[in-house]
Amino acid sequence: MPTLRIQTANVFNDYKPATKSGKLINAALFILIFANVVMIILESVPAIELKYHNFFKSFELISVIIFSVEYLARLWSCVDLKKHHHGHSESAGKDYAISHFRIRLHYIKSPLAIIDLLAILPFFLSMFFVLDLRFLRILRLLRIFKLTRYSAAMKTLLTVLKDEMPVLFAAYFIMFTIIILASSGIYLLEHDVQPEEFGNIPASMWWAVVSLTTVGYGDVIPITIGGKIFGGIITLIGISMVALPTGIIASGFGNAFRRKRQTYQLELAEAFNDGVLTKAEKSQLRATQETLGLSTEDAKQIYKEALYGHLKKHEIICPKCQKKTEAANKGSDA
């Protein structure tokens, strides 16, 4: 019989809960988060806020209580989720308690836990400090990031950003360098004829950013021949530079999707090893499909490739060790 803590961990296992009650709770939390975002937006309209002030206050209090209970429940039960262990062994006595403390500390520092904390922090800060209402509303609006927990696509995006961070950093560093050079160049060319718009390099940076991103607001433009030629060159450079981070992220998405397919292929091959696809294996495959965010059509296609391929054996590359695994191309209906 699973303990209460294990049951709680199964309920709050991100967007892939192990029980029906967990799925219902996650669905309710999803609706509550979405409702909070809508309420915060409506609350920014003075006429609506004045008319429904008490309702907004009550809704905020109830939401904070629910989000606080959720945060504490996740913090308490995270020791039963292997993804937060990171090598912390569970031994007897004091070591056991220390291990749980370290696991919870690791969870607290995780991105999703930080988002959960930011969702309730503004309410408690307002109890001890006088905060500007607009600033407080923006902080509360960060609750929208809690939806990341229930979206495979958003989790994939965060993974891609994390994996491609060094390359993205290099791309943005190059863009920042070009902005400095562009603002310095236009300052030298236009300062004498337009001292109000290009009076210094920091003021010229607005023009540089607008030109490099090809937005072209037109509020500040060069009027000298040299300035126009220089501006045209900067705009052409900007067309290629702005596309650079987009290409990096798009490539990262493609690689992430390939890794997901390979992971699912490997698990499917392992399930086919004994020649029979049991009910438990089917259930595990469905859970893996949900975790990876694969569509039903993709999962079916991978299954058909494994089951009805031309060859008797199908080679699959492990995404972790990059070694080939041979799986018998046999099984029962999924």
Residue-wise pLDDT tens digits, 12-71: 766 555 567 777 888 898 899 999 999 988 988 989 989 999 999 999 999 999 999 999
Domains of the chain with CATH codes: 4-150 (1.20.120.350), 152-334 (1.10.287.70)
What parts of the chain have a pLDDT lower than 70?
Answer: 1-2, 13-19, 82-98, 133, 216-218, 272, 274-276, 306-334
pLDDT of residue 225: 92
| End-to-end Cα spacing for the chain | 30
For residue range 93-126, list pLDDT tens digits in order.
445 556 888 888 888 888 888 888 988 988 888 8
pLDDT of residue 252: 82
pLDDT of residue 83: 60
pTM: 0.61
pLDDT of residue 275: 63
Angle at 188 between CA 185 and CA 189, to 5 degrees: 85
